[in-house]
Chain A
Amino acid sequence: MTIGRGVIRGHAVTLRRFLVTFARDFRDGLALRRRGGGGLLVDLFRGPARGEERVVVQDATTEGLFTVEYPDERLPVYERFRVLPVLVYDDEDGNVRCTSCNICAKVCPPQCIWMVQAKSPKGTVVPLPEDFFIDMDVCMNCGLCAEYCPFDAIKMDQNFELANSERHQTHVFGLQDLLVSSAYYAQTHPEAWSGPEEVAERAKVAKKKDRRLQKALGVEA
């Protein structure tokens, strides 16, 4: 009699999974602990503070998958994870890194970047953005702007919690909305920050600034 054997075998798979789940929970902390280092049962009544949520790692060794209890737990954010672009300013002197060279606007596939170059009172171009707009209703989070920015000025932010109830006033980010400090960037992108390219770039910029300062102070080179 072959009829039904396949069905039973299939059900055995689900049954096994069902039992294994409970056995595992029992083994790994008497069902008082959540898998992946997640919260205790008491946490049901006391959510973690903003920014202190547990990060739950699931990798090849995880048996099956388990639920990430967002918002109390989160998946790890990979460094390259990208949502919307931001502009970095340097913490030490508050300088915006962007020189309004327009390359990001030139590579932007849906053309969601607008930029106004700063002008000196004499009318010459100053290598700074006067204003900078990103329309996040058009942005496709592709990261090309950050990839091709020669000044490490535009970077992809990792904040995905952006839901709101209004778009016409809030979804076009201006310069002030886009600026983040270099410390913030260093924190979100530690590998890139300490990578050889960005270190060299920072050193180069620092040297240039120093020279300019020296010049301004009247020190002979």
Chain B
Amino acid sequence: MTSRNAAPDAPAAGGRAGHPWRKRPARFSMSVMDAAGPVFRVESPAAPLRRGRDAIGRPVRIAAPIVRTPPSIRRLAMTNQPPVRPEWTTTIDPILQKELERYVLVTNWEKLLGMVDVVYNWGRRSSLWPLGFGLACCAIEMICTASSRFDIARFGAEVFRGSPRQADLMIVSGTVTKTMMPLIARLYDQMPEPKYVMAMGACASGGGPFKEGYNVVSGVDKHLPVDVYVPGCPPTPQALLNGLIALQRKIDGETIVQAPWYRGGVERDVPIPALGPDLVDLRTVELAAERTAQGLIEKREAGLEKPRLIPAPTADPVDPPPAEAPSGKPVKKPKQAVARPSAVWLGDAGLAELADRLNAELGAGTAAIVQAGLLIPAEKLVDAARFLRDRNPIRYDYLASLQSVHYQDCIEVNYHLDSTSRPGSLILLRVRVAEAEGEGELPSLYHVYRGADLQEREVYDMMGVRFVGHPELKRILMWEGFAYHPLRKDYLEPYYEAPTKVFASRVDEGFGRHVRAEELNPHGTNLKIPQGFKDWASLSGSNDPKGEAPLPGGVQVEELESDQFQVSMGPQHPSTHGVFRMNVRLDGETIVGLKPVMGYMHRNHEKIGERNTFLMNFPFTDRLDYLTSMGNNFGYALAIEQLMGDEAKPPERAEYIRVIMAELTRVASHMWSVGFLLNDLGAFFTPALYAIEERELILDLFEWASGSRMMCNYFRFGGVAADLPPGWLDRCRAIVEDRLDRKIDELDRYLSGNEILLDRTKGVGVLSAEDAVGYSTGGPVLRASGVAYDVRRAAPYGIYDRFEFAVPTGRAGDLYDRYYIRILEMRESVRILKQAVRKIPEGPVLAGKKSYQIKVPAGEAYGRVENPKGELGFYVVADGSAAAYRYHVRSPSFINLTALERMCLGRTIADVVGILGSLDIVLGEVDR
């Protein structure tokens, strides 16, 4: 405080730096004061009386000359202090003052502005323009809130803007990942004042169920100021509206006098965090550097129990040495599941024959049978794959899935191959490479199966295994420069507590006090940086380690001196169906290169899945493809039931319920995808609104039976969680028998013949049948290209073999076929549904007794279902413990993206939007 400011004869102010009037905003009094100099004035009743109390009962006389507030104090004024008028009091009879107030001084500044406030706030709260910005599952509910059933327009908030510069409300809807956080901060900074942030759902509020993940920000309020939190996972549309009302109330309470955005020198922008070895908040970089140098993370980890490594499976299963349990008791030898890669596969005899053939053709030692899979030496992998694809009697032309497992002695990369000409003859190839980090190396199958492209990059990213011959081996889900390969067993996350759940702090005696995960980490946030990291000065929020690399084969534009240029579409783009990004190289308007950039929604599903007990993982699978949670449940249940064997055979009624739920999901998901494909093509929202109607009714059914619209968590091993509630089947029958057909017809009549649609879609984004198979696409994308490959037929699961349905295929493989195939598939689904609701028997819905302690025999399984997006597979390695040793999701959305560039080359940007829409990706599944 300066002497200028402290008036010597002001007893109330002297020596009290915190006295409110000093923090006043200077602005409102200046004009009067400057002219009049020190004045005495009778003003508001509130201020002098309050002042009077402050000054221990004495009449207060403040004769301070009004001085311009120095900037330091003006900055103080940013905090929301109640403004105190700088007009003073003199000793005055309170009765006289009251009379004066009543008859002479009609009002004061606050009251005057209060009237303005009413109008001002009403206007602002009734016209909130949200940023059209969705991150994850919650975004779907946000879109539903905007749709006709809930109609956010009633609150004046329907104008979802694509650009942050036109928006004043950011609804952070979904999991905030580290990869996405810099972009969210940038979007926030671009929004004009006044701006509000709403954290929708548990993830945005505080990290949510994925909080323990290595790529998840523990609440967006770690970086942005949040105005309203909407709890729920996900909040229903009504809950979001409730949050919006809460925000409106908050706005109602604001006054123009205090509004920080009209004050000079107020900087409300947030610094953009940097993607270095981890996401580093630049506000705390010194502290982070200091703590990292001290090795606090390493010290903490030294005291924790690490995940156990198991040896890789061998040809003749010798008993693994009984590992010591932490308690000291020897672990019982786990039961072994029947060795088979999947429920429907080539069979032992066929596999032996195949191994012999490989050994005969490519030299002895090419293939050895290990646990129903062919173990192939790395150097022979490409030859073997070429042989299997081109010369084997069963042409293995379809790489169904590719994943890796970190064992004690090696990292195993394994491949599920299937044949589109003879579906159901799935085989498993195993290739083993060195275990040490960064050592593993094997030849890439990129040139044999193009579908291996993104999947190999994923293995490289997650396990650090290099694929020689892959043209573009870069990190795919995390960013270049991230310090770890997270799916290796020796990587412990920042919030790591124990190798498997249940965490001891929750259940053991003496514990049980609530502790936030942040408190476990020495950095106080989800941060882990190797102790040796020194390059702190280079961290900058403007780095873009995910999308920096030039397009493959591309040349720097400046050097080329042509009219090629590079456009980054996404990750915040209304047409990318989430936080997906495409780096596009254009020559004029023609696309000459396109690279998908993903990982903005990578929320560590697989790593968390290796810590969850088998049962716990169910609700996590809901959040993969959040439009089809029932289908995800189905696939996961199948994988584990394959290991558990007959013990977990669902009863008849449960099988029917599963099929009904899966097919309803397919209709709902296809409705959504058709609606939003049209949206992408420019038919803004009317088709989507029409399509969402039926989806809403189906979601009502889901909510009725399972308790949640989207995150159903309804399946259990050996059945379903609960029987259908009374009356459910009647409504389901009514919807299936009378309603859906009519609605699909309407949608068909409404859209399919539309010339604009035909113009935009016919011959666009063509994928030939050969390419579709080669790129490992699945589901409607594959079938639109004329390949009748449907897992429900190729490898029937559940009771699908009992239903009559066709597998519709397209001919041209263009955008139109991919649209129309979905209409046809909906009809087939309704056909299955009709059969199922007619035949569903009474009876139990769960095999055995309901228990949360599920014993899963050791072994490997690959459960696959035909999800609306394509083949959804769950690859599980169980070691007999309560949790999966390795858990991998073969996600159709992710793998379908491999073919994106192929379809887009030579087309225009506007077509890319439509082509991406026709792939119908869901980012929760792409990035997992």
List the interface of chain A (C-beta within 8 A of B). Answer: 3-7, 9-10, 13-14, 17, 58-61, 64-71, 74-75, 78-84, 102-103, 105-117, 125, 131, 133, 135-144, 147-148, 156, 160-167, 171-172, 191
Contacts and interface: CB of A to CB of B under 8 A. Distances in A.
A117 B506 CA distance: 11
Contact of B746 (A13, A68, A110, A113): A13
B310 to A, nearest CB: 24
Contact of A65 (B149, B617, B704, B749): B149
25 contacts: A6-B754, A65-B149, A75-B700, A79-B725, A105-B507, A106-B852, A109-B501, A111-B503, A114-B505, A115-B507, A116-B512, A137-B202, A137-B205, A137-B211, A138-B207, A140-B208, A144-B615, A144-B619, A148-B852, A163-B246, A166-B229, A167-B206, A167-B219, A167-B221, A172-B514
A22 B594 CA distance: 48
Given A140-B233, A143-B707, A75 B148 contact: no
A10 B238 contact: no
Contacts of B235: 160
Interface residues of B, number: 94
Given A81-B703, A139-B233, 6 more contacts: A60-B739, A109-B618, A137-B202, A143-B713, A160-B242, A161-B242
Contacts of B616: 107-109, 144
B252 interface: no
A171 to B, nearest CB: 7
A59 B731 CA distance: 7
Interface in B587-628: 612-613, 615-620, 622-623
Interface of B: 148-151, 154, 202, 205-212, 219, 221, 226-233, 235-239, 241-243, 245-246, 250, 501-503, 505-507, 509, 511-516, 612-613, 615-620, 622-623, 686, 690, 693, 696-697, 700, 703-708, 711, 713, 721-722, 725-726, 731, 734-735, 738-739, 746, 749-758, 850, 852
Contacts of A78: 703-704, 707, 725
Contacts of A80: 703-707, 722, 725
A114 B516 CA distance: 11
B229 A64 contact: no
Contacts of B205: 137, 167, 171
A3 B755 contact: yes
A78 B749 CA distance: 34
Contact of B507 (A17, A106, A136): A106
Nearest to B737: A60
Contacts of A79: 725
Given A65-B696, A114-B513, A144-B619, A10 B242 contact: no
A6 B758 CA distance: 9
B236 A160 contact: yes
Nearest to B733: A60
Given A71-B241, A167-B219, A81 B750 contact: no
Given A10-B751, A137-B205, A171-B231, A71 B738 contact: no
A70 B501 contact: no
A47 to B, nearest CB: 11
B514 A82 contact: no
Contacts of A69: 154
A166 to B, nearest CB: 8
Nearest to A69: B154
A18 to B, nearest CB: 11
Contact of B208 (A5, A82, A138): A138
A112 B211 CA distance: 11
A82 B506 contact: no
Contacts of A75: 238, 700
A10 B725 CA distance: 39
B150 A191 contact: no
A117 B508 CA distance: 9
Contact of A164 (B154, B229, B725): B229
B150 A68 contact: yes
A161 B231 CA distance: 8
A65 B699 CA distance: 13
A110 B609 CA distance: 11
A70 B155 CA distance: 10
Contacts of B502: 105-106, 111
